[in-house]
Structure 1
Amino acid sequence: MHCPTCGEYGDLAVFSVKQTKAQVIACTECDSLWKTADMTAIGETFLDVADYLREQHLAPDWSALTLLRRI
């Protein structure tokens, strides 16, 4: 599925946050992130991956995430 933020440039995927085990959806191109793995949240309010990780008191780096599946 293509990201609604950057269009055809980015693919969406479900990731797990390594330390918290929370599941999120993020765009591999523009770093948009939705705080849930629920597809109905796509298009609603989102954060940047780094901002979300800082909120969780984690290093703002993609290495904090594990790819679970592409959408």
Structure 2
Amino acid sequence: MNEIETIISEIEKLLANNTPYSISKNSGVPRQTVTDLKVGNTKIKDAKFKTIIKLYEYQKSSENNSEC
């Protein structure tokens, strides 16, 4: 799996396991943007790079916090 596929996979995991409200609250990404990604109105590959960075960083920090 290349790095881009890894990032997309991590964001898919984040979207599948959390509500748009909690993702938005903790990542700073607007709730409607998160909802559009979650329900498939917007594909992850079509999202703004800034949005991808925020979601990926939030997912990684969530994983690190759960490992502690």
Structure 1 and Structure 2 fold alike (TM over 0.5): no
TM-score by length of 1: 0.28
Structure having the larger proportion of residues in strand: 1
